[in-house]
């Protein structure tokens, strides 16, 4: 695939986008990576507590746990808003950008509403935009079924969207989140928790299955299956460079590095 090695999927979590200042910072990160010579596809989560607010509205209106077609369509709007706002911010920074819903980006899934499973990704539209110098900004957490319906991928599904796109593009994937690395224990409840410099995919899956909050389990498994190189770090990290966050690689590294971070 032409240019795949120079393509990066950059996924921003909701905390990374919850204020105008953070949206600008995210756009500046995209611009910096692009200026460093890489092609960028962006995947976004809904901002802050947007998904929770939509769920609360659905509860109040329906009187029971929201599910089904209309719930999925409502929930998908959180990511659509994030994508449009970030694309507009990139345009303001003189970076050509285009927001796309999950289905428009070629992500297809199957299953019941709110429980979608990615089955395939057709990246032609993304590649066309990249070839024209345009940054695609994709709504995570959602896909299109074969019957044309919008379907969501479950909580945390934006990670799965990002990993699936990276696999289809033969690209690496950065997960920009609110923690500075993957830790051996939850640093919010255990001050002795230590960050990993590097993990294998299997180790990441094990941590996710044990309840680590950095990456959704389905996304970790998808990355392992397709050997997608990952880099997990905070939205406060340097815009480019190395030496921060946790890298997830295929196979077994010679030595698993765990180091102190300030």
Domain ranges in the chain are: 4-249
CA distance 84 to 188: 32
pTM above 0.85, yes or no: yes
pLDDT mean for each 10 residues of the chain (262 residues): 74 96 98 97 95 94 90 96 98 98 98 96 98 98 97 92 98 95 84 92 92 84 96 95 92 50 42
Which of 257, 255, 227 shows the shortest CA–CA distance to 245? 257
Domain 4-249 sits in CATH 3.40.50.300: no
Give the pLDDT confidence score for residue 78 in this predicted structure: 96
């Amino acid at each position: 695939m032409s240019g795949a090695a120079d393509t990066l999927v950059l996924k921003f979590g909701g905390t990374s986008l919850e204020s105008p200042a953070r949206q600008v910072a995210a756009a500046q990160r995209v611009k910096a990576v692009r200026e460093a010579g890489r092609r960028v596809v962006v995947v976004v989560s809904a901002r802050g507590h947007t998904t929770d607010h939509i769920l609360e509205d659905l509860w109040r209106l329906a009187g029971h746990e929201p599910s089904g077609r209309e719930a999925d369509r409502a929930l998908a709007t959180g990511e659509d808003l994030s994508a449009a706002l970030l694309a507009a911010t990139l345009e303001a920074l003189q970076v050509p950008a285009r927001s796309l819903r999950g289905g428009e980006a070629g992500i297809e899934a199957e299953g019941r509403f709110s429980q979608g499973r990615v089955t395939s990704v057709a990246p032609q539209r993304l590649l066309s935009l990249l070839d024209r110098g345009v940054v695609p900004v994709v709504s995570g957490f959602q896909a299109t079924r074969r019957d044309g319906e919008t379907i969501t991928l479950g909580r945390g599904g934006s990670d799965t969207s990002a990993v699936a796109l990276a696999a289809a593009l033969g690209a690496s994937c950065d997960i920009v989140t609110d923690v500075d690395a993957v830790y051996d224990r939850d640093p919010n409840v255990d001050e002795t928790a230590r960050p990993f410099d590097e993990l294998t995919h299997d180790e990441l899956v094990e941590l996710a299955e044990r309840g680590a909050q950095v990456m959704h389990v389905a996304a970790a498994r998808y990355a392992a299956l397709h050997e997608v190189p990952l880099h997990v770090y905070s939205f406060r990290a340097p815009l480019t460079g190395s030496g921060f966050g946790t890298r997830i690689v295929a196979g077994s590294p010679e030595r698993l590095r765990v180091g102190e971070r300030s």
